[in-house]
Amino acid sequence: MYRSILVPLLRGEAEAAPLQAACALTAQLGAELRVLVGMDVGRARAFGWEFMPAGPDEASDLAARAGAEALAEDVRRLLEGHRPPCKVVVGDARWASPARQAVEHAQVADLVVMGRPLQPTAGESAAFGMILLESGRPVLVIPSTARTDRRYGTVVLAWTPTREATRALHDALPLLAVARAVHVLTLAEGAAGTARFADVEAASVLPLLARHGVAARHLVEPRGDREAGEAILEHALRIGADLIVAGGHGRSRLAELVFGGATRTLYLQAPIPVLFSH
């Protein structure tokens, strides 16, 4: 069960989509909502694999603090009257980037809810990757154009017998438990693969989900010549899904900042929320 939900605001604005989605979830699940306003001080510079702010002088520190506090106050007014009450905090790690601040706060939350602009910058994609890979927490990405006024009634769970997919399934259980329909989607390679997966359906994840009160269907679909992320997304849109659950893969140190494959496709292209887990 999610008891604590974190919304990191890293773009210097009160992003409506993740805030509205998180408010709906906390009201539905009775969780605590915490909003982190990241404070970026000084000029940014690259140092190895770490994104490090330059040493702030007093003026830049005060300016950054004033801007972050003003945004935090805007968010407090926006969420005034929300039940359960939420807490808005300003990142206070002067030498850490906003994404690094978010990682530290995410490590003591159950779920992270992040916004995704229509065309994310490389820095925004890198921040998502850092939070997903280094916090150890699931990240629910809400596209800026997604509807946030409805619950996640129909969910597509992308399933393969891998560590990432297993972790994603367990991290998503609180959402799966309140969904109306859960489609466990397995992508198979060719007709032989489709038959093999169909034959072992009884030994799939359905019994596990049933033990948690989740009634799910196992669907096997040929991947064909499509990239896995495209196939998952096409299926989700075809059935009118409200949410996709997927394991986030990272294959190298570089992939920790810029994902490839299905994770990148779903992050950049999905018009509906996606729960990533790593």
Task: Give per-residue pLDDT as tens, 19-30.
Answer: 999 999 999 999
The whole-number average pLDDT for the span 144-155 is: 90
For residue 55, the model assigns a pLDDT of 54
Distance CA 164, CA 127 (A): 20
The mean per-residue pLDDT over the stretch 142-160 comes to 91
pLDDT band at residue 168 under the 50/70/90 scheme = very high
The dihedral over CA atoms of 171, 173, 174, 180, expressed in degrees to the nearest 10, equals 140
How far apart CA 186 and CA 178 sit, in angstroms, is 22
Distance from the first to the final alpha carbon of the chain: 18
Q: What percent of the chain has pLDDT over 90?
A: 59
Q: What is the pLDDT of residue 49?
A: 45
Assess contact for 240 and 150: CB atoms under 8 A.
no
Pairing of strands 4-9, 44-47: unpaired
Q: Domain tally for the chain?
A: 2
CA distance 128 to 147: 21
What local confidence, expressed as pLDDT, does residue 215 receive? 92
Task: Answer yes or no: is pLDDT of 45 > 60.
Answer: no
Q: What is the reported pLDDT for 131?
A: 95
Question: To which residue do tokens 């297993």 refer?
Answer: 166
Give the confidence band of 253 by pLDDT, cuts at 50, 70, 90. very low
- Specify if 148 maps to a domain: no
* pLDDT score, position 48: 47
Residues 86 and 194 in one domain: no
Under the banding of pLDDT at 50, 70 and 90, the label for residue 193 is low
Flag whether 149 is in a domain.
no
Distance between CA atoms of residues 65 and 69, nearest Å: 6
Segment (H or E) for 220: strand 216-222
Domain end residue (candidates: 143, 173, 191): 143
Average pLDDT, integer, range 155-180: 94
Among 143, 168, 200, the domain boundary falls at 143
> Do 198 and 95 lie in a common domain?
no
Residue 134 — very low, low, confident or very high, per pLDDT cuts 50/70/90?
very high
Contacts 24+ apart (CB under 8 A), 63-72: 64/39, 64/40, 65/39, 65/41, 65/90, 67/12, 67/39, 68/37, 68/38, 68/39, 71/9, 71/12, 71/13, 71/14, 71/37, 72/35, 72/37
Residue of 144 and 161 predicted with greater confidence:
144
| CATH number of the domain encompassing residue 250 | 3.40.50.620
Angle at 19 between CA 13 and CA 23, to 5 degrees: 160
For residues 180 and 159, give the distance between their C-alpha atoms in angstroms, rounded to a whole number: 19
57 pLDDT band, cuts 50/70/90, is low
pTM above 0.85?
A: yes
Provide the pairing of β-strand 139-143 with 274-277. antiparallel
Range of the domain at 158: 154-277
- Which comes out higher in pLDDT, residue 58 or 275? 275
Query: Region 187-214: what's the mean pLDDT?
Result: 74
On the 0-12 / 13-18 / 19+ scale of CB atoms within 10 A, 57 is exposed
Phi, psi for residue 28 in degrees, rounded to 5: -70, -40
Q: 199: which 2 tokens?
A: 């034959």
Distance CA 143, CA 146 (A): 5
Residues 25 and 137 in one domain: yes
